[in-house]
């Protein structure tokens, strides 16, 4: 599957053995610990995985067992996946920020026998729900800090598991048995179960084979010419299919090095140190980087601020044309070079994007202005469209065909079609085998002839041949007057503003559109400081009249842009409010991949939704919240509601003449 990989290297353990043989001295994975990068070569990773694998057998793991993996991006958690696969067991990664009850559902549903946890925090969550999990026989942990005095009857340190494995491997027959186990695993065997983020209910376990994942990874590498010299930083949730492809599968296929940061807070600095060449980030990451930059520039000196804005405005006009290789006047190229020296290069260096050859964003639509901002700096940022059920890749943007409002063309070996209702369907080698223990949902999603329903509404742009995604098919609706209503489209327009962190729009089968907003505490807090506005909490800042005035201007600007949108012109926002708390995954309002659970929010904030449509100027709300330590509390507030005057919709000239 990788460079010169034999055809029968159709599983992760076989690819690991292949990589150890042909590129054994090359770095396979790094981890920054206490400020120092630790490196393991492919040959060393094989040794670690083999010992881990046999150590798991010593704990009683058998072919077909499911193994939970819980934690952040650490080498030994990635090795745990391959170690389990080598003996025919199936890894089940779980989101590290899941609360105990969410974790218990997946562990029970997947019938997990052994859980491999990163640290004391994850072990504590597992122990707190262990009475609900009769099949969970053992917990293996990576970091021993804080666990010394625990009852170790069901707890074992990874070091000890690997030691047990190495001791067993001293017997040549045991080594041969492990090698036979690897050889007996086939590409069509189940490789992993990845649970969806669950926007509409309980998460579903997506079953993917080795071939599903590895063929998709190989095609992704071919599409962007990724080779063994790439450097990738692994910071996305290991339970998410994107990380599984970008930080695990594509590395095994191409042989490039994956770098695990010291902590979530150090990702940008660590990416800068490594010199990442291939990167993926959801729109939220790019939005946050831009927000922090704009906030900091407001605090800069007047000369520096004017210089920054001059060259950024110049880049917006010329930068993408230069990146695309279009004909540009010589004077514009010279000015751009000066801007690169003074602004663009330092900014890319600050973001850790100086050496990026290919960058992707997906998961949610990115604001066109934000997308163009990075491309204007010279970052080859592109968009792709994928799903867990596709092993990620459905469409992607080829170099030279980059558009802010599309998600690209069908990837290698992928077929895409639009059905009569406007829903996007696909067929590919990455198509999942089914939902674990849920044949009914599988039948709803997969057609008898192998097509998969994405649940997204979209169409192919006749000018470019690229796919455009409008919204979730079930979310696209109509106002009572028949106006098209696509909530995500409106929400993304609002989230372009650094002051707005989250937006939830309503309007289907109603007379007009309303939105509930979250402010961005960093951006609005900085603005408040500059404007001498005193506040003591998010709730107090969110309810401040001057914050409402500022946000009202943003909403009005979105309405003015919607006037130019043809069928969406009548979907202008008539009323809005700013929520008294930030939407939070721990409270069930967002998924673990930070997607809005619109239906759940409508139920949770029903008094506010009612007030938005009954003409009320304010509404009282009490909301249960979950604190970081798992305790519950209640936040009560009186939330103000603002009205906006709709912008008149200009009628087409022919209609006027008539």
Q: Give the span between the Cα atoms of 251 and 16, in whole angstroms.
A: 10
Structural contact between residues 553 and 474, judged by C-beta atoms closer than 8 angstroms = no
3-state per-residue secondary structure call for 3-54: CCCCCCCCCHHHHHHHHHHHCCCCEEEEEEECCEEEEEEHHHHHHHHHHHHH
| Residue 630: domain span | 477-654
Asked if residue 654 has pLDDT above 50, the reply is no
Structural contact between residues 610 and 602, judged by C-beta atoms closer than 8 angstroms = no
* Structure tokens that stand for 522 in this block: 């960093």
Q: Identify the pLDDT of residue 283.
A: 85
Give me the mean pLDDT over the 481-499 stretch: 86
Asked if residue 398 has pLDDT above 60, the reply is yes
Determine, yes or no, domain membership for 289: no
Tell which residue, 484, 490, 485, has the closest CA to residue 502.
490
The mean of the pLDDT values for the chain is: 91
What is the band of 653 on the pLDDT scale with cuts at 50, 70, 90? Answer: very low
Residues 590-622 have pLDDT tens digits of 887 777 888 889 999 999 999 999 999 999 999
Give me the mean pLDDT over the 244-260 stretch: 96
Contacts of 555 by beta carbon, 8 Å cutoff, 6+ apart: 494, 515, 573, 576, 644
Q: Identify the pLDDT of residue 658.
A: 39
Asked if residue 561 has pLDDT above 60, the reply is yes
Give me the mean pLDDT over the 20-30 stretch: 96
Q: Identify the pLDDT of residue 606.
A: 93
Residues 40-75 have pLDDT tens digits of 999 999 999 999 999 999 999 999 999 999 999 999
Q: Identify the pLDDT of residue 599.
A: 84
Q: According to DSSP H, which parts of 200-344 are helical?
A: 210-224, 241-244, 250-254, 267-274, 283-298, 302-323, 330-339
Q: Give the span between the Cα atoms of 181 and 64, in whole angstroms.
A: 12
Q: Which contacts qualify for 36-45: CB closer than 8 Å, 24 or more apart?
A: 37/259, 37/273, 37/274, 40/75, 42/16, 42/255, 45/16, 45/20, 45/79
Residues 265-315 have pLDDT tens digits of 899 899 999 999 999 988 888 888 888 888 888 888 889 999 999 999 999
Give me the mean pLDDT over the 524-528 stretch: 92
CATH number of the domain encompassing residue 87: 3.40.50.12780
Determine, yes or no, domain membership for 300: no
Q: Identify the pLDDT of residue 595.
A: 79
Where does a domain end: 279, 310, 338? 279
3-state per-residue secondary structure call for 334-366: HHHHHHHHHHHHHHHHHHCCCCCCEEEECCCCC
Contacts of 655 by beta carbon, 8 Å cutoff, 6+ apart: none
Determine, yes or no, domain membership for 122: yes
Give me the mean pLDDT over the 470-474 stretch: 80
What is the band of 629 on the pLDDT scale with cuts at 50, 70, 90? Answer: low
Asked if residue 386 has pLDDT above 90, the reply is yes
Determine, yes or no, domain membership for 414: no
Determine, yes or no, domain membership for 635: yes
Q: Identify the pLDDT of residue 579.
A: 95
Asked if residue 95 has pLDDT above 70, the reply is yes
What is the band of 150 on the pLDDT scale with cuts at 50, 70, 90? Answer: very high
Give me the mean pLDDT over the 421-434 stretch: 94
Sign of CA dihedral 188, 280, 385, 507: positive
Q: Give the span between the Cα atoms of 93 and 515, in whole angstroms.
A: 35
Determine, yes or no, domain membership for 106: yes
Contacts of 394 by beta carbon, 8 Å cutoff, 6+ apart: 384, 385, 386, 387, 410, 411, 414, 416, 424, 426, 428, 454
Asked if residue 3 has pLDDT above 50, the reply is no
* Structure tokens that stand for 544 in this block: 């401040």
The percentage of the chain sitting over the pLDDT mark of 70, rounded to a whole number, equals 96
3-state per-residue secondary structure call for 387-437: EHHHCEEEEECCCCCCCCCCCCEECCCCEEEECCCCEEEEECCCCCCEECC
What is the band of 568 on the pLDDT scale with cuts at 50, 70, 90? Answer: confident
Who has greater pLDDT, 294 or 656? 294
Residues 182-192 have pLDDT tens digits of 999 999 999 99
Asked if residue 652 has pLDDT above 70, the reply is no
What is the band of 496 on the pLDDT scale with cuts at 50, 70, 90? Answer: confident
Q: Give the span between the Cα atoms of 166 and 387, in whole angstroms.
A: 39
Number of domains in the chain: 2
Residue 454: helix, strand or coil by DSSP? Answer: strand
- Beta-strand relationship, 618-626 and 632-643: antiparallel
Strand spans (E) along 511-643: 513-519, 573-578, 618-626, 632-643
Asked if residue 412 has pLDDT above 60, the reply is yes
Who has greater pLDDT, 517 or 626? 517
* Structure tokens that stand for 562 in this block: 């919607």
Q: Identify the pLDDT of residue 1.
A: 45
Determine, yes or no, domain membership for 497: yes
Where does a domain end: 279, 301, 319? 279
Give me the mean pLDDT over the 197-211 stretch: 83
Determine, yes or no, domain membership for 158: yes
Give me the mean pLDDT over the 77-104 stretch: 95
Helix (H) or strand (E) holding 122: helix 120-128
Q: Give the span between the Cα atoms of 508 and 472, in whole angstroms.
A: 13
* Structure tokens that stand for 655 in this block: 């209609």
The percentage of the chain sitting over the pLDDT mark of 90, rounded to a whole number, equals 71
Residues 354-373 have pLDDT tens digits of 999 999 998 777 777 788 89
What is the band of 208 on the pLDDT scale with cuts at 50, 70, 90? Answer: very high
Q: Identify the pLDDT of residue 650.
A: 67
Helix (H) or strand (E) holding 78: helix 75-86
Asked if residue 657 has pLDDT above 50, the reply is no
CA distances to 364, 447, 553, 599 from 453, rounded to whole Å, are 18, 8, 39, 21
Where does a domain end: 258, 279, 300? 279
Q: Give the span between the Cα atoms of 446 and 453, in whole angstroms.
A: 6
Q: How long a stretch of residues is the chain?
A: 658
């Amino acid at each position: 599957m990788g460079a010169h990989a034999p055809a029968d290297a159709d599983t992760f353990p076989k690819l690991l053995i292949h990589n150890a043989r042909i590129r054994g001295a090359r770095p396979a994975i790094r981890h920054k610990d206490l400020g120092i990068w630790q490196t393991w070569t492919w040959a060393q990773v094989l040794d670690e995985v083999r010992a881990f694998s046999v150590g798991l057998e010593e704990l009683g793991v058998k072919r077909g067992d499911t193994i939970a993996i819980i934690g952040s991006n650490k080498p030994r958690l990635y090795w745990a996946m391959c170690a389990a696969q080598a003996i025919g067991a199936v890894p089940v990664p779980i989101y590290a920020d899941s609360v105990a009850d969410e974790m218990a559902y997946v562990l029970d549903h997947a019938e997990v026998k052994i859980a491999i946890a990163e640290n004391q925090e994850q072990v504590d969550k597992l122990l707190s729900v262990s009475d609900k999990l009769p099949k969970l026989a053992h917990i293996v942990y990576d970091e021993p800090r804080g666990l010394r005095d625990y009852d170790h009857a069901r707890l074992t340190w990874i070091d000890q598991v690997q030691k047990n494995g190495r001791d067993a491997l001293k017997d040549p027959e045991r080594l041969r048995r492990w090698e036979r186990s690897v050889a007996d695993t086939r590409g069509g065997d189940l490789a992993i179960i990845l649970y969806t983020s669950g926007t509409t209910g309980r998460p579903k376990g997506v079953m993917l084979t080795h071939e599903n994942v590895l063929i998709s990874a190989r095609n992704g590498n071919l599409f962007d010419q990724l080779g063994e010299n790439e450097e990738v930083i692994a910071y996305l949730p290991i339970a998410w299919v994107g990380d599984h492809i970008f930080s695990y599968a594509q590395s095994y296929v191409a042989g490039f090095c994956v770098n695990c940061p010291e902590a979530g807070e150090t990702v940008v600095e660590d990416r800068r140190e490594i010199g990442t060449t291939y990167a993926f980030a959801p729109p939220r990451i790019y939005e946050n980087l831009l927000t922090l930059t704009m906030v900091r520039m407001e605090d800069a000196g007047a000369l520096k601020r004017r210089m920054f804005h001059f060259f950024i405005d110049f880049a917006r006009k010329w930068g993408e044309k230069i990146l695309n290789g279009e004909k540009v006047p010589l004077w514009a190229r010279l000015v751009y070079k000066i801007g690169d020296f003074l602004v663009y290069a330092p900014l890319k260096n600050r973001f850790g994007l100086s050496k990026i050859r290919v960058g992707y964003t997906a998961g949610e639509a990115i604001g066109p202005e934000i997308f163009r901002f990075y491309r204007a700096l010279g970052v080859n940022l592109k968009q792709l469209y994928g799903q867990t059920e596709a092993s990620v890749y459905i469409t992607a943007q080829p170099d030279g065909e980059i558009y802010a409002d599309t998600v690209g063309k069908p990837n290698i070996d992928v077929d895409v079609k639009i059905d009569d209702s406007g829903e996007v369907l696909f067929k590919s080698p990455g198509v999942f085998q089914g939902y674990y223990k849920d044949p009914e949902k599988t039948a709803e999603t997969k057609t008898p002839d192998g097509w998969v329903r994405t649940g997204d509404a979209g169409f192919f742009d006749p000018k470019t041949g690229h796919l455009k995604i409008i919204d979730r098919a079930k979310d696209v609706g109509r106002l009572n007057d028949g106006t098209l209503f696509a909530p995500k489209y409106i929400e993304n327009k609002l989230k372009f503003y650094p002051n707005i962190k989250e937006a939830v729009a309503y309007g289907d089968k109603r007379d007009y559109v309303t939105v509930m907003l979250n402010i961005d505490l960093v951006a609005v807090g900085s603005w408040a400081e500059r404007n001498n506005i005193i506040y003591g909490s998010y709730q107090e800042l969110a309810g401040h009249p001057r914050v409402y005035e500022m946000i009202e201007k943003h909403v009005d600007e979105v309405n003015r842009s919607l006037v130019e949108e043809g069928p969406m012109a009548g979907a202008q926002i008539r009323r809005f409010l700013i929520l008294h708390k930030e939407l939070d995954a721990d409270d069930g309002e967002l998924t673990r991949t930070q997607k809005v659970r619109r239906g759940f929010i409508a139920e949770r904030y029903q008094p506010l939704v009612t007030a938005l449509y009954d003409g009320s100027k304010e509404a009282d709300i009490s909301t249960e919240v979950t604190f970081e330590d798992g305790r519950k509390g209640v936040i009560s507030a009186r939330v103000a509601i603002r009205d906006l005057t709709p912008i008149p919709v200009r009628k087409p000239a022919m209609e006027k003449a008539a």
